[in-house]
């Protein structure tokens, strides 16, 4: 069984002061404190903007001061949601190469790169003649957007050449069979290139796992159905406002153990319900229930 790593989606949240970060802690100290509690973090900010090289090098430098810390990074939305949807894949490949050069390689060179997360657009479909199963899916003429298995294979082949482990989060039910499991042809593509299918706990996709890689990847988005499916909302973070009760975390404990037992590399678990410090609180509880120890050297510098 591979090592289970547990963390959160991001760390630079001012509303974590009090629930997680000590009062009056400066934001520049957040990462250092975070790495004293968790050995992995999913960097969501790269989805919105590619960071400066100096920022990436700063993350790597801080993480290299601790044993076994890593960053998982999310592919920019311009690549995953725009370039991936173009008929010609050349710009998609170039976008991934640019991301490799600016973010992945600097982290990999300092041995602080974990996984690379490609979150597919909800318009990225296997076929156009589907019946919608998920309330959050876009109602558009799908044949125009149906990239299908050909694009999936092109994408997975390219992802497999990047540093780190690789994970794909699908978000359209055309990739699922009637029993809400991954289509067998899509599963074969992911297996061919060793790409982990992201397991999702959230309102928009069913919880299920597939053995497609030697590592595993799990994301907890929260279960705030009312806000998740609201079509108009002034607060983009409202859908993530959800504090998992211990009973729901316990509900996922054994399934995560089973998932981890099927691979010989890391199982990465991230909590994305970031408002008000809910994510680090829930992640810590999951660590406790799974018997995942605090990372080496965790609290010495903050006593």
Supply the range of the domain harboring residue 115: 4-302
pLDDT at position 247: 98
Q: What is the pTM of this model?
A: 0.92
Higher local confidence (pLDDT), 190 or 174: 190
Query: What is the model's pLDDT at position 143?
Result: 44
pLDDT at 84 exceeding the cut of 50? yes
Instruction: Look at residue 257 in the predicted model and tell me its pLDDT.
Output: 96
Distance, in Å, from the CA atom of 252 to the CA atom of 5, rounded to the nearest integer, reads 15
Tens digit of pLDDT for each residue in 232-262?
767 878 999 999 999 999 999 999 999 999 9
Work out the average pLDDT over 39-66: 96
Q: What is the DSSP letter of 126?
A: S
Closest residue by Cα to residue 11 from 35, 117, 300, 224: 35
Tokens for 87?
């008929």
The arithmetic mean of pLDDT across residues 265-286, rounded, is 97
Query: What is the β-pairing status of strands 70-74 and 113-119?
Result: parallel
User: Among 76-80, 91-95, 127-131, 299-303, which is the least confidently predicted range?
Assistant: 299-303
Helix ranges (DSSP H) in the chain: 30-37, 53-63, 77, 90-99, 105-109, 148-159, 184-193, 225-228, 246-261, 278-290
pLDDT at residue 125 tops 90: no
pLDDT value at residue 222: 97
- Judged against a pLDDT cut of 90, whether residue 303 lies above it is answered with no
Average pLDDT over residues 26-39: 96
Measuring CA to CA, which residue among 233, 240, 236, 235 is closest to residue 219?
A: 240
Two tokens, residue 156: 């997975």
> Structural domain tally of the chain?
1
Mean pLDDT of 76-85: 94
pLDDT category of residue 267 using cuts at 50, 70 and 90: very high
Query: At how many degrees (to 10) do helices 30-37 and 53-63 cross?
Result: 40
Average pLDDT over residues 181-208: 96
For the domain that residue 166 is a member of, what is the CATH number? 3.20.20.410
Identify the pLDDT of residue 141: 47
CA 143 to each of CA 53, 111, 124, 249: distance values in angstroms, whole numbers, following the listed order: 39, 42, 11, 39
pLDDT at 225 > cutoff 80: yes
Mean of the per-residue pLDDT values of the chain:
90
> Which residues share a beta bridge with 115?
165
pLDDT of residue 1: 67
Looking at the chain, the whole-number percentage of residues with pLDDT higher than 70 is 89
**DSSP labels, 49-118:** -PPPHHHHHHHHHHHTTSTT-EEEEEPPHIIIIIGGGSSSTHHHHHHHHHHIIIIIHHHHHTT-EEEEEE
Calpha distance 277→30 (Å, rounded) = 13
């Amino acid at each position: 069984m591979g090592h289970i790593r547990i963390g959160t989606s991001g760390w630079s949240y001012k509303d974590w002061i009090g629930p997680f970060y000590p009062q009056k802690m400066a934001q520049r100290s957040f990462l250092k404190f975070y790495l004293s509690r968790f050995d992995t973090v999913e960097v969501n900010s790269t989805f919105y903007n590619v960071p400066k090289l100096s920022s990436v090098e700063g993350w790597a430098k801080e993480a290299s001061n601790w044993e076994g810390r890593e960053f998982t990074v999310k592919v920019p939305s311009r690549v995953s949601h725009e370039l991936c949807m173009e008929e010609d894949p050349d710009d998609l490949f170039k976008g991934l190469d640019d991301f490799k050069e600016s973010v992945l390689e600097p982290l990999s060179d300092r041995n602080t790169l974990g996984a690379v997360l490609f979150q597919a657009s909800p318009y990225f479909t296997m076929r156009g003649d589907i019946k919608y199963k998920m309330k959050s899916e876009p109602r558009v003429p799908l044949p125009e957007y149906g990239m299908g298995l050909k694009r999936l294979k092109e994408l997975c082949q390219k992802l497999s050449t990047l540093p780190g482990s690789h994970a794909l989060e699908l978000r359209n039910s055309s990739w699922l069979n009637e029993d809400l499991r991954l289509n067998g042809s899509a599963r074969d593509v992911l297996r061919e290139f060793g790409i982990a299918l992201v397991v999702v706990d959230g309102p928009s996709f069913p919880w299920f796992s597939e053995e497609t890689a030697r590592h595993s990847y799990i994301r907890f988005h929260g279960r705030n159905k009312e806000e998740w499916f609201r079509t108009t909302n002034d607060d983009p973070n409202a859908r993530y406002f959800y504090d998992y009760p211990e009973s729901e975390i316990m509900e996922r404990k054994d399934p995560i153990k089973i998932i981890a037992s099927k691979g010989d590399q890391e199982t990465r678990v991230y909590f994305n319900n970031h408002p008000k410090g809910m994510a680090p609180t829930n992640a810590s509880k999951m660590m406790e229930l799974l018997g995942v120890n605090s990372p080496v050297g965790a609290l010495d510098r903050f006593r």
